Structure formats: C-alpha cells, structure tokens
C-alpha cells in the first residue's frame, strides 16, 4: 500500500497573528512558519501504518512557494520516503490545491491520501473533501482513530455529537484530527538522513491546473478587543449585572 500525505506551511501556532495595516491580509514577513499541526498528525499516522507493515511507501507532498519544501523535509525526517513539491507563487485556494493533488494522485496512484482536517491559517477545511469529490473516492474526515483492514479503513470521526465510526473502502481520503496521535520528534540523525532523501519539483502550471484566485478577499481585520473583566462581590450582584448590563438572562 502507498500513502500520499499532503502538508502545508503555515504561520507557527505560537506566533501572535498581526493584521496588515491596509487590511489586505496578515503579516507573514519575519514570521516563524511551521507545518500545519494536524498535517503532522497525518504524517505520523502514515508512518505508524508503515511501521505496522501495512504500507510500503509514504510520499509527502506540498503545494506552495519554495520555502514550503521545509514541511516536506520535516515529513521526510519523521519517516516519509520521498517528497514532492508543487511550486506555486502567492495565495492558492483549496480548490486549486485539490486539483493539484488530483494530478499528483493520477501520477502516483496511492491507495490512501492523508492530510490535516484543516489548516490553521485559513481554517477552510475544504481540500480533503474537494479532492474526494474530484477523484470520486470515499472520504473520512476528522479522523481520531484509523484501523487498516483488508480493503477498507475503519475510521472514528470526531463529530459534534461525539464519536462516529465509519468504514470506507480503499482508495480513500482521510483528514486527520489532532487527537489522532502524538507526532514524534524529528531526531537529529533522521534529519541528517532526510537531507539526502529526494524531493521532486513540479511547477503547478506544468500540471495544467488553473491556480488563479476565485475568491475575492474584501477585507481582513482584527477581532474586536475584549473588554477587561470585573470582579463581583456576591451572587446578587452577578445576577443583576447579567440581567441589566450583559442582558444575557
């Protein structure tokens, strides 16, 4: 079995996001970037499946600028076998990413495609679903447990009501939740070895995919500042404030 794992480079989750003054987006200059956290879970799960002897090869793929390669390099350091970097400049929307991934799937013919349930930068939560539609493959989203069976996967999904267990036939798309596993550290020896693993470079334009923007972004602004809290002396005052000031009861 072969697993394709998609990883995305995003602003590190520790960084305080700053909106550009002109409202055209968020500041990315001089900002620490990392792999989208649930993508790390996707890579980890693929590596675990391989370690259990149920997969033969893991291919990590990213779509983005030159520096997006760092995310592939990290996936290689924790156990992916080789990488693909599809080069695109500037913003790329989920639909375009799905189409690029569709082409990569046509080429690589994996049995499974893993990725994070959503990226922490735009929070779209669309790429996996769109890719499933484009390929006409079954999808299992928000996976918090994956069991590989003969020709199918049993996937536990994190849904609003609790946990839902479904079975999907292989080939399938799985988008991974943070609860799926605890990603391992990339050890220094493995990072050294990963530097020697191959990363194939492909231009998105050579794949015949239109990566142009379809969504017009009107404005990005900071959420309104939260007012400072107050201390109340007793329950009566609390009830009174909730009634008269906050008007919530």
Partner 1 sequence: MSNREVMEYDVVIVGGGPSGLSTAIKLKQLKSDLNVCLLEKASEIGAHILSGNVFETRALDELLPNWKELNSPIKTKVSKEKFLFLGKKNSLSWPTWLLPKVQHNKNNYIISLANLCRWLAEQAESLGVEIFPGFPASEVLYNDDGSVKGIATQDMGLDKEGNKKDSFEPGMELHAKVTVFAEGCRGHLGKQLIKKFELDKGKNPQQYGIGFKEIWEINEKNHEEGLVMHTAGWPLDSKTYGGSFLYHAENKQIFLGYVIGLDYQNPHLSPFDEFQRFKTHPAIKKIIEGGKRISYGARALIEGGLQSLPKMFMPGALLVGCDAGTLNMPKIKGSHTAMKSGMIAAETIFEHLEQQKDLSVYEEKFNKSWVYKELHAARNVKPSFSWGLILGILFTGIDQILFRGKLPFTLKHKHADHETLKLAKDMPKIEYPKPDNVITFDKTSSVYLTGTNHADNQPVHLKLKNPDLPISFTLDKFDEPAQRYCPVGVYEVQTENNVKKFVINSQNCIHCKTCDIKEPSQNINWVTPEGGGGPKYGNM
Of these, 5, 6, 15, 211, which contacts partner 1 (CB under 8 A)? 15
CA distance 223 to 36: 22
Tokens, residue 116: 């994070």
Number of residues that bind partner 1 (CB under 8 A): 22
Residue with smaller CB distance to partner 1, 21 or 123: 21
Rule CB under 8 A: is residue 188 a binding residue for partner 1? yes
CA distance 118 to 36: 8
3-state secondary structure of 237: helix
Rule CB under 8 A: is residue 189 a binding residue for partner 1? yes
Residue with smaller CB distance to partner 1, 220 or 239: 220
Residue with smaller CB distance to partner 1, 77 or 209: 77
Min CB(111)–partner 1 separation in Å: 27
Provide the 10 A C-beta neighbour count for residue 220.
13
Rule CB under 8 A: is residue 52 a binding residue for partner 1? no
Rule CB under 8 A: is residue 24 a binding residue for partner 1? no
Q: Are strands 9-11 and 33-35 parallel, antiparallel or unpaired?
A: antiparallel
Of these, 160, 185, 227, 248, which contacts partner 1 (CB under 8 A)? 185
Rule CB under 8 A: is residue 21 a binding residue for partner 1? yes
Q: Are strands 152-159 and 162-169 parallel, antiparallel or unpaired?
A: antiparallel
Q: Are strands 57-64 and 2-6 parallel, antiparallel or unpaired?
A: parallel
Rule CB under 8 A: is residue 18 a binding residue for partner 1? yes
C-alpha neighbours within 13 Å on the C-beta side of residue 185: 3
Q: Which residues bind partner 1 (CB under 8 A)?
A: 12, 14-16, 18, 21, 29-32, 34, 182-189, 191-192, 195
């Amino acid at each position: 079995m072969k697993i394709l794992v998609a990883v995305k480079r995003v602003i590190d989750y520790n960084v305080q996001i700053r909106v550009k003054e002109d409202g055209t987006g968020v500041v990315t200059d001089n900002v620490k970037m990392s792999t989208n956290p649930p993508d790390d879970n996707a890579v980890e799960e693929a590596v675990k499946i391989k370690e259990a002897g149920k997969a033969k090869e893991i291919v990590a793929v990213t779509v983005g600028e030159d520096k997006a390669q760092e995310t592939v390099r990290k996936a290689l350091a924790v156990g992916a076998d080789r990488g693909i970097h599809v080069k695109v400049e500037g913003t790329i929307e989920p639909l375009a990413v799905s189409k690029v991934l569709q082409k990569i799937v046509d080429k690589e013919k994996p049995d499974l495609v893993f990725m994070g349930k959503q990226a922490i930068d735009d929070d779209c939560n669309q790429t996996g679903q769109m890719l499933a539609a484009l390929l006409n493959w079954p999808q299992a989203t928000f996976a918090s447990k994956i069991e590989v069976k003969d020709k199918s996967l049993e996937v536990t999904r994190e849904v609003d009501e609790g946990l839902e267990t479904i079975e999907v036939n292989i080939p399938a798309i799985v988008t991974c939740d943070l609860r799926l596993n605890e990603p391992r550290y990339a050890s220094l020896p493995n990072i050294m070895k990963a530097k020697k693993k191959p990363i194939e470079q492909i231009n998105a334009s050579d794949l015949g995919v239109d990566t142009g923007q379809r969504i017009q972004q009107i404005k990005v602004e900071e959420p309104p500042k939260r007012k400072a809290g107050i201390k109340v002396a007793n329950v009566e005052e609390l009830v009174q404030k909730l009634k008269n000031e906050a008007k919530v009861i």
